[in-house]
Amino acid sequence: MTSIAELATAWLAAEPDDDIRVELQALIDGDPEVLATRFSGRLMFGTAGLRAEVGAGPLRMNRLVARQAAAGLADWLLVHVDDASQRGVVIGYDARRKSELFALDTAYVLAARGIRSMVFSSVVPTPVLAWSITELGAASGVMVTASHNPPADNGYKVYLDSGAQIVNPIDEEIATYIADIDPLSVELAEPYSALVTMLDDELRQRYLSAVGNVLHVADTEPIRVAYTPLHGVGGATLVEAFAHCGLGIPEIVEEQFEPDGSFPTVPFPNPEEVGAMDAVIALAQRAHCDLALAHDPDADRLGVAIPTASGWRRLSGDEIGWLLADHILSNTEGDERMVVTTLVSSSLLSVMAADYGVHAEETFTGFKWIGRTVLEHPDRRFVFGYEQALGYLVAQRPLDKDGITAAVVMAEVAACAASDGTSIEGRFESLAERYGRYVIGERSIKMEPALSSEVVQRLQAEPPTDIGGVAVHTVTEFPEAGLLRLELVDGTRLQVRPSGTEPKIKLYGEAVDGDPAEGLDQLAEVLAEIAASYLA
């Protein structure tokens, strides 16, 4: 059996990048226990593809790991997708460390296996990559990105020919093919292979030409918008999208506009995080804007802040979803319409759908399941989907969250409110009058993945009869999502699940004309006690 030291030495010989070689040599020369943390397993491919810190070894993101994933994907495509070689794979990448190298390696691995690949010649937002798959009729798509993860990370996201992300069991099938690949001996095609095509800006321009189709109201006077891409790759595309749609030129946070994978002004480039939107909110105040918008680094998520009587505030993911849903449902027609959301998002969307007489579907956590749900209902006309983690789809394609088109519609929502003599706050008051005042809350408990799964399973096996003295009315398990839903007698809904991408347990609460905060705090204490019993 090969020892960790021998395996690390073999990786060192195969490693193509000098900086990773220097890192790996230092690990080999250093503490064996630290070296073991890099070589005691391998990075597992799942429904989020691959995502980890860039570094040496099979448990980090590097070119050897990317090549192994590309080879496994290629082998799966050749078996399971008709004409995969001819239809090819579209590949995009963001501005993170080594993204371009991972993308080019993927193309040359595919070419070595006889599959045509089309690589964007510069950084591109994830929604543009996903949209391009169906535009070109490609067999698959790969986006090299770690989305909203910390700066040190990178990742590898895989799409089907529908433009939707992979889901179970396809992720498991691809993972099996990847496991059969030796990452140290993956064949690459020769440079300038005829099977590798570099894409110019034409596809992105075609995407931009289609963006105007998401607008619902003609000739609305634009409002003043402040915007930041948080050092990501969405900036230029958003500005051009606004121009295409007649929405004016947004005020830009200049120091955050150019793509920069080190994210120098935001340690955690996620609009959900406290502080991430501080710069754009400050700009919006100075420029007397009506709306502040932010994208995550690959521009598939949208953050929103609005002015209120007591100052600017960030909207939650559900609040943004309510606004977009109400706007779209009130400006479309037909009882064949369908909206889709996820288990952990607000239940208000289904209430709104019933009011408007349209179909509503609830699916598992993760936007990939929204795409799958749309595909499962070809007889219905999809008009809107969202998840509370700032993911929104306001168009027919791509079948993935799209922060660019969502930003366009959000600007239209604010513009329509202004033309009606009201504001976004006024829109919320109108929703509260019609449906009750929905209050959303979230909590998270930092916990290693293995323990978090054990804790949630224990809670499922022995659910509490009350939370903070309020009786539990119903308990519902969603085993495919690893989620447990508790509905209390006072109408509060509490949900808990292990995070699929971070070392934490996530808790979600919702109340109508009430506040779920106390219930969330009490449920967090229950989970902490269970965890303590495992660690004792």
List of residues 6+ apart from 326 with CB closer than 8 A: 352, 427, 431
Q: What is the DSSP string of 279-336?
A: HHHHHHHHTT-SEEEEE-TTS-BEEEEEEETTEEEEPPHHHHHHHHHHHHHHT---TT
Q: What is the DSSP string of 380-409?
A: SEEEEEEETTTEEE-SSSSSS--HHHHHHH
List of residues 6+ apart from 465 with CB closer than 8 A: 471, 472
Residue 37 identity (one-letter amino acid): T
Distance CA 519, CA 487 (A): 11
- Alpha-carbon distances of 72 from 78, 167, 390, rounded to whole Å: 10, 16, 31
Which residues pair with residue 144 across a beta bridge? Answer: 93
- Alpha-carbon distances of 70 from 162, 384, 484, 534, rounded to whole Å: 19, 32, 35, 39
Verify whether residue 147 is a known catalytic residue.
yes
Nearest to 130 by CA among 369, 397, 339, 344: 397
How many Cβ atoms sit within 10 Å of the Cβ of residue 86?
A: 11
The H or E element that residue 428 is part of is helix 424-435
Nearest to 438 by CA among 509, 387, 382: 509
Distance CA 464, CA 471 (A): 9
Q: Is the peptide bond before 398 cis (omega within 30 degrees of 0)?
A: yes
**Cα 479 vs. chain centroid, distance in angstroms?**
22
Residue of 99, 117, 132, 147 marked catalytic: 147
Distance CA 77, CA 461 (A): 40
Joined tokens for residue 335: 């009882």
Distance CA 120, CA 127 (A): 13
Query: How would you classify the pairing of strands 359-363 and 438-446?
Result: unpaired
Joined tokens for residue 169: 């069991």
Is there a contact between 228 and 277 (Cβ–Cβ < 8 Å)? yes
**Catalytic residue numbers, as ranges:** 147
